[in-house]
Copies of this chain bind each other. A is one copy, B any other.
Amino acid sequence: LHTYRLGFIGFGNVGKTLLALLESRRAMLEQRYDMTFMTTGISTLRHGSAVDHDGIDPVKALAAGNLGELSAFSIPQDVFEFIRLSQADVIFESTPVDYFSGQPAVDYLKAALSAGKHAITANKGPVVHAYRELKTLAAKNGVSFFFESAVMDGAPIFSLFRETLPAARLDSIQGVLNSTTNMILTRMELGDSFDRAVAYCQEIGIAETNPQGDIDGWDAAVKIAALVTVLMEFPLLPSNVDRQGIAHLAPVDIEMAKSQGKRWKLVCSAHRSGESVVARVAPEMVGMESPMFHAEGTTSVVRFETDVLGPLTIIEKDPGRETTAYGMLADMLRALSRI
């Protein structure tokens, strides 16, 4: 029974849910994977940080207003020093990330990998901005860099290709990957104005205070760029995605689609074009024969065309609170089983 030491950088909803999920699976992980774990470090920006090599009490960590009270050390407010001090085998990174640079997550992940720790992120920013660099760094240090939760929550999109479709070439991707815009469009079909639909998404907590990144298609662009970069092995920046948001869609457009038996969806797509890959995010009118038509609210859909299978579509319906955290847990098991 091997004991792994876990460190968290960022301890918001995702980090907390992950810690709770890990604890709820403790007996199963011991039994099925012959492993156990303890949390030796948690670093946050505004709620203090804690390091304890004997393990931080998870119940206290989940309840703490200031994590500093649980620390066996005096912790510098520097994440790089934290990574070193934590003695963690696995670092879970889930901090707020800037779309356009992938920072500060990229630097944290680099530091973790360079220190010989497996690095697992829930963020897509580092994937589009530093995938090759982080992957190379991981290989050099004999550890793993995984990010299953970065797109479609914890649904196994990246590992589907990495693990289950060897020797396949991915030719095209098409899907609905941004849940805020999808919920806005669903609400507008029910009669909401655009502004009212946005307000609804904020009320139920799926849209941020400033939802412009979703509405303008940036979030979707980062997601399709991440899929292209990893699965098509073609580095693509979000700024190279031909991008159009949904802000110009008015109730009259929604009605027009409805009268044709169609629905507007913010469609992400990418396909090979010679040696390059062309990617696009734009609202499209979709007919009911498409699985995208039926993706309501927070449901995500993605369709892959390869050179070996018929088109393969994956639908993740209404992901729950634990879905993102589960993706990180699955990444951890993948990383540790490769040691």
The CA of A310 and the CA of B28, in the complex, are separated in Å by: 21
List the B side residues contacting A309 at CB < 8 Å: 153-155, 316, 319-320, 323, 326
Which segment of A220-228, A237-245, A286-294 sits at the interface?
A: A286-294
Question: Contact between B310 and A319 (Cβ–Cβ < 8 Å)?
Answer: yes
Which segment of A91-99, A113-121, A164-172 sits at the interface?
A: A164-172
Question: Contact between B310 and A316 (Cβ–Cβ < 8 Å)?
Answer: yes
Which segment of A7-15, A132-140, A328-336 sits at the interface?
A: A328-336
Nearest-Cβ distance from residue A164 to partner chain B, whole angstroms = 4
List the B side residues contacting A318 at CB < 8 Å: 310-311
Question: Contact between B166 and A163 (Cβ–Cβ < 8 Å)?
Answer: no
Closest to A21 in B: B308
The CA of A153 and the CA of B329, in the complex, are separated in Å by: 30
Closest to A318 in B: B310
Question: Contact between A330 and B25 (Cβ–Cβ < 8 Å)?
Answer: no
Question: Contact between A314 and B316 (Cβ–Cβ < 8 Å)?
Answer: no
For window 150-180 of A, CB contacts with B under 8 Å fall at 153-156, 159-160, 163-168
Question: Contact between B314 and A314 (Cβ–Cβ < 8 Å)?
Answer: yes
Asked whether A2 is an interface residue with its Cβ less than 8 Å from the other chain, the reply is no
